[in-house]
Structure 1
Amino acid sequence: MSAVRSIVGWWLLALLVAAGLGALGAWQLDRMHRKQAMLDAVQQVLAQRTAQPLAIASDPGRKRDYDWAAGSGTFADAPAVLLDNQQRDDRPGVRIYRVFQPSAPGAAPLLVELGWLPLPGDRSLPDVPRPMGERRLAGLLAPPPSHGILAAVATPQPGGQVLATGLDADGLRDRLGQPQLAARILKLDPADPLGYARDLDVLPNTLPPERHLGYAVQWFALAAAVLAIALLLTFRKRKPDQTTP
């Protein structure tokens, strides 16, 4: 009877552990599908490049969507936002954002990504002058980069910039002196000579879909291994003693 209880206990534990590992694998698969759908949507927008007005950046119904947009306006007299912990070519740096006010009536200001700059060993922040005069910009409207499970923190710096760990529009409005700020950002067209090194990658500093698939396979393999071990222990326990008396 004790042997049966032991086997039942092993299987209960094995099934619980395998279920947890399987759930992690399913979560990774879901993330893979979501990111692949995102990349497919971006690719379609970039292939067509049908320009929408910049005013749609503040449309709450499209805050998770992607659009090619263009419009004229001026960069606001507001601090530059430096997004921290941004890698490019295996070098640490920051992504530079500035507030742009479209000239279209009623259009809310939005953050424009001007590109990436490296940080030296002492992490001294670069000076980012405000582009002056009326300009016409074009680029990809996108949700701001994900900052993960940690809260987005924006800290004013002695040089006048704002160093941020995430681009949360609600948290940045007061820091930038903007009563309104669009939920989406504009990833400036790399063909525009304005700004710094940049691209239209919507998954910078995060895992691509194929990495999530790899992690999913690992979790499922571990779940299978747990069940295989439980099966092996069960047969060993039930095997009669073959030793001679």
Structure 2
Amino acid sequence: MMRQHTRWIGWLLALLAMAGFTALGLWQLQRMHAKQALLDAQGSAVAQALPLAQALAAPGALHGVADHGRFLPGVVLLDNQMRHGRAGVKVYRPFRSDSGSVLLVDMGWRALPPDRTLPVLDTLPAPLAVRGLLAPPPSAG
């Protein structure tokens, strides 16, 4: 009798494991479709670029931006950013368009040398034409 009881528990655990892994697989498929939709939206947003002031006022999550202006003095460095196993910083600079709209622009990632000295950033010419994607800030957490 004990052996029959153990067999049923084993089959029940196996079925629960299969159901759990199936649910995880479906969750991954949903994430894939959501990310593909985001990539498709980025492509169409960049193709329909707006001036910065219009893009900031327009509803929606993603907008293509093409504008002229200048980068303001000052740099924000976000430390401890890893990429391909190397430590680095993300570089952000404030940008003011000719219409007066101000935005913090992600200038990319820079690797840090082994002694962790901060990178020397070049001054950018002004005025400058910028083109990119305006996206909402990342969520907290």
Q: Which TM-score tier does this pair reach, normalised by the shorter chain?
A: 0.7 to 0.9
Residue 33 of structure 2 corresponds to 33
> TM-score scaled to structure 1, two decimals?
0.47
1:1-245 equivalent positions in 2, closer than 5 A: 1-46=1-46, 49-59=47-57, 61-63=59-61, 65=62, 67-82=63-78, 84-87=80-83, 92-104=87-99, 107=101, 109-129=102-122, 131=124, 133-144=126-137, 151=141
Letter of the 2:93 partner, please give it.
R
Q: CA 1:60 to 1:68, structure 2 compared with 1: closer, same or farther past 3 Å?
A: closer
Q: Please tell me the root mean square deviation across aligned C-alpha atoms, in Å.
A: 3.1
Deviations 1:21-76 (A, max 9, x none): 22221221111111222222223344xx332121255458423x2x2211223323
Deviations 1:88-131 (A, max 9, x none): 7x7543332111122325x3x22212233221112221133553
**Sequence identity (%):** 40
Q: Distance in 2 between matches of 1:51 and 1:60?
A: 12
Specify which structure has the bigger relative contact order, considering alpha-carbon pairs within 8 angstroms and separated by 6 or more residues. 1
Secondary structure of the structure 2 residue equivalent to 1:62: coil
Q: Which runs of 4+ in 1 moved over 4 A?
A: none
Q: Distance in 2 between matches of 1:77 and 1:31?
A: 39
Letter of the 2:71 partner, please give it.
F
Secondary structure of the structure 2 residue equivalent to 1:127: coil
Aligned length: 141
- Mind listing any 5+ residue stretches in structure 2 that lack a counterpart? none
Q: Distance in 1 between matches of 2:20 and 2:58?
A: 36
Which structure's residues are more often strand, by fraction?
Answer: 2
Q: Distance in 1 between matches of 2:126 and 2:44?
A: 33
